[in-house]
A and B are shown apart, each in its own frame.
Chain A
Amino acid sequence: MKRNWMAYPYFFWMLLFTIVPLLMVLYFSFTASVNGDGRFSFANFQRVLDPLYLNVIWRSVRLAFISTVICLVLGYPVAMLLAQSQASRQFTLIVLFVIPMWMNFLARTYAWMTLLERNGLINTFLGWFGLGPYNLLHTEFAVVLGMIYNFLPFMVLPIYTVLNKMDPALTEASYDLGATPIRTFFRVTLPLSLPGVLSGISMVFMPAVTTFVIPQLLGGGQFTMIGNLIEQQFLRSNDWGFGSALSIILMLLILLSMRIMSHYDRDRGEGGGFF
């Protein structure tokens, strides 16, 4: 009993800021206003099933998936490089990698706007070689770029943590037994780092599929994602019912992807996991 009281504040915190809001979202999603009165209704969910909105959901999943894959492909080598470098240099490299994250996320995204503009830095630079100007800002490319830039550290760090803890004797043993570096990577390093990879994937996919700032700023309202739709309902259209229904769908989507992840992650070792 003695240890339990420590948990009470957290319990109340959860109740107040997780359970109650969740129930409210659920309540609003099943409520439609009829002549000013709230009535139980499936109308909000029916509206989500409109091909128009299904297309928005599909776009969110597609863009988040592309970003996650690219983050993985870019992030894994970086994590390996970090883990394999000398201890003294490792610290510097990690600090350099993390420094941009000290700056506000919004400011970094605005910075990309000035870089990608038609008269921005990138187009000016290309202009010196007689190229462009290209429409870089307000494209799907810009949205994906923004996601990769902002979420890459969330892929690198969990993988790095796992790789760093791995006993170097294991790879050495693999070499001693005659395995090539490629074979060693696929038979030893990669399987052992899987927990880090999986948590990296969820750490990138989830913020990417729910983001609304990045498509708004870098996509210019042209590539509406589910996050934008939800924001629109709550902050402009004042349609809490539809916004809540979209939120529930988004939550189900995330639960589903977590379920798929955990399927591949039955024998996860210690460390690296966030969920």
Chain B
Amino acid sequence: MKKTGRLIGLGLALMGLLLTAGCGGGETTAEKETLMVYNWGDYIDPQVLDDFEAEFNVDVIYEEFATNEDMYVKIKAGASNYDVAIPSDYMINKMIKEDLLLPINFENVPNYDLIDAKYKDWSFDPENTYSVPYMWGTIGIIYNTTMVDEPVTSWEILWDEKYEKNMYMLNSQRDTLAVAQEILGISLNSTDEQELEQAKQLLIEQKPLVSSYVGDEVKDLMVGGNAALALVWSGDAVTMSAQNPDLEYVIPEEGSNYWVDSMVIPVTSQNPELAEQFINYMCRTDVALKNAEYIGYNTPQVEVFEQLPEELTSDENFYPTEEILNNCEVFEDLGDAQPLYDRIWTEILAS
């Protein structure tokens, strides 16, 4: 009995603490505006968010997603009021078509002028009515030079039985399918069922060699030397090779996917003006530099590019030349063929 009494006492004391803590917090937050940001995992310098909160006297609620498809499903369901999201090109196109985005008032985003024209007016949002570029990059192979002796030039190395259970692929349908599409020499935006069946067969063939289909955990796994090869996004490769000098990144000669992730305002936003302020803030040179240095992805900003270390910006694998980029393809929204991709991806995973 004594024990129970003490336990109840402890419980009550804890509850009291929580209640007072809750009240204390409530008083101050009531006056502050809140901004809900929905971004990829590991895709911002957390300091930048703290600074924004302090500078603009707001609360930022920050949530993360692992793939464009995850993000789309959540925003489409409309259950959460995100003010800013940062999807990729083809997904932005899909969201524009489905009226999921608000046009941006560029009077509130003067820093848009700092962005290199190369990354503006892409076909997914021809006049950048809805989106402001945040980062860009490619996909490629990261390999551990202590485990791979041969030069890595082709995607086909991911089908080499020498590396059985010694490689990771991405648990992201467009990116992993892109590898098979590059090998087969078909478009990354193909909607031809036969071509896609071929790509599916190729990936099913590869499946016994793959150790696992991963997301952001690939970084820890590769840095820890757990596998020889992995399919990754270019910026993550920068982070990984900084932590483990044995890791090198390459864009295979067949070509790759060239993408840009941009900031958008979903229609569910409660405070589009604050969202625009945030987007403008993210485009400020000092902030964009912090982000680019922290996450390793390619900046679309002219000044930031100049301020980055030269050994990074002169590396063709990370900042590819025009020639390499011309050999790459941008993902487009698949429209009615999306269910076909979904089915094929489900079948690959289920096999």
The interface residues of chain A lying within 8 Å CB-to-CB of B343 are: 237
Q: Mark B46-67, 1 if CB is under 8 A from A, else 0.
A: 0000000000000000000001
Q: How far, in angstroms, from A138 to B224 measured CA to CA in the complex?
A: 16
Q: Are A119 and B212 interface neighbours, CB within 8 A?
A: no
Chain B residues near A229: list those with CB within 8 A. Answer: 346, 349-350
B69-77, B124-132, B292-300, B326-334 - the one binding chain A: B69-77
Interface centre among A219, A222, A233, A239 (most CB of B within 10 A): A222
**Contact A138 B173, beta carbon cutoff 8 Å:** no
C-alpha spacing A52/B200, complex, angstroms:
14
A38 to chain B, nearest CB (A): 14
**CB-based contact B211/A135 at 8 Å:** yes
Q: Answer whether A236 and B70 are a contact pair too, CB < 8 Å, given A220-B212, A222-B212, A224-B349.
A: yes
Q: Is the CB of A52 within 8 A of B76?
A: no
| Minimum distance in angstroms from A208 CB to a CB of chain B | 19
Instruction: Report yes or no: B173 in contact with A53, Cβ–Cβ below 8 A.
Output: no
- Residues from chain B with Cβ under 8 Å of A233 in the complex: 346
Chain B residues whose CB sits within 8 angstroms of the CB of A238 once the complex forms: 69, 72-73, 76, 342
Chain B 215-231 per-residue mask, 1 if CB under 8 angstroms from chain A, else 0:
00100010011110000
B351 touches A52 (CB 8 A): yes
B165 touches which one: A52, A119, A135, A235 (CB < 8 A)? A135
Q: Which residue of B lies closest to A233 (CB)?
A: B346
Q: How far is the CA of A119 from the CA of B225 in the complex (A)?
A: 7
- Asked if A140 lies at the interface with its beta carbon under 8 angstroms from chain B, I say no
- Considering the complex, give the chain A residue whose CB is closest to the CB of B165: A135
Question: Which of A52, A117, A234, A236 makes the CB contact (< 8 A) with B224?
Answer: A117
Q: A52-B350, A232-B349 are in contact. Are A237 and B342 (CB under 8 A)?
A: yes
Q: Within the assembled complex, what's the spacing in Å between the Cα atoms of A237 and B67?
A: 11
Interchain CB contact under 8 A, A224 and B350? yes
With both chains docked as a complex, state the minimum distance between the C-beta of A88 and any C-beta of chain B, in angstroms: 14
Is A221 on the interface with B (CB-CB < 8 A)? yes
Inter-chain CA distance A236–B76, complex, in Å, is: 12
- Given the interface contacts A224-B350, A228-B349, does A239 sit within 8 Å of B211 by beta carbon? no
Assuming the contacts A117-B221, A236-B173, asked whether A221 and B212 have C-beta atoms less than 8 A apart, the reply is yes
Q: Point out the residue from B210, B226, B346 that lies within 8 Å of A232, measured CB to CB.
A: B346
Whether the Cβ atoms of B70 and A235 lie closer than 8 Å is yes
Contact between chains at A138 and B211 (CB < 8 Å): yes
Q: Given that A117-B224, A236-B69 are contacting pairs, would A220 and B214 also be in contact in the complex, using a CB cutoff of 8 Å? A: yes
A221 engages B221 (CB within 8 Å): no
Looking at the assembled complex, report how far the CB atom of B78 sits from the nearest CB atom of chain A, in whole angstroms: 13
Q: Decide yes or no whether B207 CB sits under 8 A from chain A.
A: yes
Chain B residue at minimum C-beta to C-beta distance from A118: B226
| CB-contact partner of A237 in B171, B227, B346, under 8 A | B346
Is A262 in the interface zone, CB < 8 Å from B?
no
The chain A residue sitting closest to B172, CB to CB, is A236
Q: Are the CB atoms of B212 and A237 closer together than 8 Å?
A: no
- In the complex, what's the smallest C-beta–C-beta distance from B170 to chain A, in angstroms? 10
Contact with B along A185-228 (1 / 0, CB 8 A): 00000000000000000000000000000000001111010001
* Cβ-based interface call for B339 (8 A): yes
The 7 closest A-B pairs by CB, nearest first: A220-B212, A221-B213, A237-B342, A138-B212, A236-B69, A118-B226, A135-B165
Which residues of B line the A interface, CB within 8 A?
A: 67, 69-70, 72-73, 76, 165, 171, 173, 207, 210-214, 217, 221, 224-227, 339, 342-343, 345-347, 349-351
15 residue pairs A–B, Cβ–Cβ below 8 Å: A52-B350, A52-B351, A53-B350, A117-B224, A118-B226, A119-B226, A220-B212, A221-B213, A222-B212, A229-B349, A233-B346, A236-B67, A236-B70, A237-B343, A239-B339
Residues of chain A having any CB pair with chain B under 8 Å: 52-53, 55-56, 113, 117-119, 135, 137-138, 219-222, 224, 228-229, 232-239
**Could you list 7 further interchain pairs (A-B, Cβ under 8 angstroms) beyond the known A53-B350, A236-B173, A238-B76?**
A56-B350, A118-B227, A138-B212, A220-B213, A221-B214, A228-B349, A234-B73
